[in-house]
Amino acid sequence: MPNQTLVMKFGGTSVGSTEALINAMQIIRDARAEWPRLVVVTSAMAGVTNLLLDSASQAAHGNINSLPEAEKTLREKHFAAADELVQDENPCLETKQEINALILSFVDLCKAIAVLGEASPRALDAVASLGERMSVRLLGAIVENTGIKSEVIEATEFIITNDHFQNAHPVIKVTTEKTRRILKPLLDEGIIPITTGFIGATPDGVITTLGRGGSDYSAAIIGAVLPADDVWIWTDVDGVMTTDPRIVPSARTLPEITYSEIAELAYYGAKVLHPKTIRPVVEAGIGLRICNTFNPSHPGTRLIANAKSNGKPVNGRVVKAVTAIRKQRLITVEGRGMLGVPGVAARAFGAVASTGTSVPLITQASSEQSICFAVPDETAAPVVNALEKAFADELEERDIDRIWKTEDVSIITVVGVGMIHTPGVAGQIFSQLGKNNVNVLAIAQGSSEVSISMVVSAEDTELAVKALHELIVK
Ligand code: ADP
Ligand code: ASP
Ligand code: MG
């Protein structure tokens, strides 16, 4: 493929152990033979980001007792792989020293957090970024050790973002300019840039992160701005599947998926792809493939343009996939006095927005006597407070009877382009849930008409996913 550019991203499990790293290295070697221009993006080793952030949040509560244990785990994880896979003594030692310096800065950061008694979003990003900053050095040394020309670069050099710490947004113009300026000369010389997923920096050089699971997004940004021809996301399953294989082991890989289907799936909880990954690749018109580091010969899943799917049922089934988002609460604002009063919804969502909460699902009863929406579990209490304040007068006057939240619920979403053209799908879905005694608390149809979402009690999550999955594979 003369002059074609490929961006490959390896997820946490794909670089999470010596065995995984051997696979990743072989995948890079094979891709090198096919693609003259190759960029590699890596996540932190599996479990590392969680460990870093847990330590930081404990430190914020004044607890640094488990720091030595965390430090030890980080050393063992990275050093074991370096010892095994970087045979040359000097590069191995150098890599371990660099990683050790990062571990020491992790310890310093946590101690500083403990002294302050709080962890600001900016400090949390500094801590969380260390996972990728360690793994990129490890992977770089392993690739270099095989004799492949590569260079480790932190994405803070070229992914420039705003200062919305923990969920930063790239500034595309500068990012494009810097990414091209830094990566292109390497690609021209046949050197593989190996870079960090998940992280960026503000124009002043302060480290930011793109949100949990954001390495997929990093790969998409790099692919879009270069631009590359293809972006491949290497993970631990055979692509995008009919549902999470951890819930239904018999879930099948979808060989193709449309933009709007994957957008709904990712948004409604299919962890396999970060929801922000899709827009950059679609806008840049580049290919996206999701494939398995542990089964590299499997073709995985290819993203296809919406227009290529005629919406006809696949294998006679219109429902293509089922997902679940757990740990949500439904909030209801209800009262007969709301009937026909303009602006209630606007005020309600204004109050929700003031808490910085995003709302994944909204339903409104046609009677206008209630507004009901879902929010993440941990935001429910502040959201109810904000609503009670915003509607203090109406509550006093009893125009609004009450504002309340449910117990833990899950949003179950059924996705499939064919659903638009097929009457009776909703009927099938609800009778399937009914047959399985799953009580539906609320319903919403995605605006794209590619999905239908239902809210069920937390304890019904697995049952609902399994029951709906039968509509796909039965
Ligand atoms: P990575 O570390 O490679 O980014 P993630 O853990 O973020 O991997 O995402 C992969 C996981 O997503 C899979 O192991 C699987 O359990 C989960 N998953 C959830 N829904 C789906 C789905 N529809 N198809 C495939 N995997 C899914
Ligand atoms: N390491 C980061 C996380 O765990 C980013 C990623 O894996 O995509 O959230
Ligand atoms: Mg991921």
Domain residue spans in the chain?
5-236, 330-405, 409-473
**Ligand 2, atom 8, residue with closest C-alpha:** 213
pLDDT at 343: 86
Q: How far apart are CA 37 and CA 46, in angstroms?
A: 27
C-beta 155 within 6 A of ligand 1? no
Quickly tell me which residue has 């919804």 as its tokens.
345
Place 317 in a pLDDT band, splitting at 50, 70 and 90. Answer: low
C-beta 213 within 6 A of ligand 1? yes
Q: Is the per-residue pLDDT at 202 higher than 80?
A: yes
C-beta 16 within 6 A of ligand 2? no
Q: Is the per-residue pLDDT at 335 higher than 90?
A: no
Q: Are strands 230-235 and 287-292 parallel, antiparallel or unpaired?
A: parallel
Q: Is the per-residue pLDDT at 470 higher than 80?
A: yes
CA of 45 to the centre of ligand 1 (A): 15
pLDDT at 195: 98
Residues 6+ apart with CB under 8 A from 430: 440
- Asked if residues 265 and 320 have their Cβ atoms less than 8 Å apart, the reply is no
CA angle, 26 as apex, 24 and 31 as ends, to 5°?
A: 95
pLDDT at 299: 98
C-beta 215 within 6 A of ligand 2? yes
Q: How far apart are CA 346 and CA 351, in angstroms?
A: 9
CB count in 10 Å sphere of residue 41? 31
pLDDT at 210: 98
Strand partners, 409: 328, 457
Cis peptide before 275 (omega within 30 of 0): no
- DSSP code, position 312: P
* Average of per-residue pLDDT values in the chain: 93
C-beta 465 within 6 A of ligand 1? no
C-beta 234 within 6 A of ligand 2? no
Helix or strand (DSSP H, E) at 247: none
C-beta 239 within 6 A of ligand 2? no
**Ligand 1, atom 1, residue with closest C-alpha:** 11
**What residue type is assigned to position 236 of the chain?**
D
Q: Is the per-residue pLDDT at 316 higher than 60?
A: no
The 3-state DSSP class for residue 43 equals coil
Place 308 in a pLDDT band, splitting at 50, 70 and 90. Answer: low
CA of 289 to the centre of ligand 3 (A): 14
Of 426 and 68, the one with more pLDDT: 68
CA of 401 to the centre of ligand 1 (A): 42
What the block records as the tokens of 47 is 């479990």
How many residues are there in the chain?
A: 474
**Interval 363-383: pLDDT, tens:** 866 566 889 999 999 999 999
Quickly tell me which residue has 């399937």 as its tokens.
432
C-beta 212 within 6 A of ligand 2? yes
Report the CATH number of the 409-473 domain. 3.30.2130.10
**What CATH superfamily is the domain 330-405?**
VC0802-like (3.30.2130.10)
Per-residue exposure over 383-422, b if at least 16 CB sit within 10 Å of its own CB, e if not: bbebbeebbeebbeeebbbebebbeebbbbbbbbbbbeeb
CA of 83 to the centre of ligand 2 (A): 24
pLDDT at 365: 64
**Quick one: what percent of the chain has pLDDT higher than 70?**
95
- Asked if residues 226 and 159 have their Cβ atoms less than 8 Å apart, the reply is no
Residues in the 5 Å CB sphere of ion ligand 3: 11, 213
CA of 381 to the centre of ligand 3 (A): 28
pLDDT at 319: 86
| Domain 5-236 CATH class label | alpha beta
**Are both 5-236 and 330-405 of the same fold?**
no
Tell me the average pLDDT across 63-73.
97
C-beta 227 within 6 A of ligand 2? no
Q: Listing from the earlier edge strand, what are the strands of the sheet with 301-304? A: 150-153, 192-196, 37-42, 5-10, 230-235, 287-292, 301-304, 256-258
Place 421 in a pLDDT band, splitting at 50, 70 and 90. Answer: confident
pLDDT at 434: 95
Q: How far apart are CA 228 and CA 187, in angstroms?
A: 11
pLDDT at 408: 97
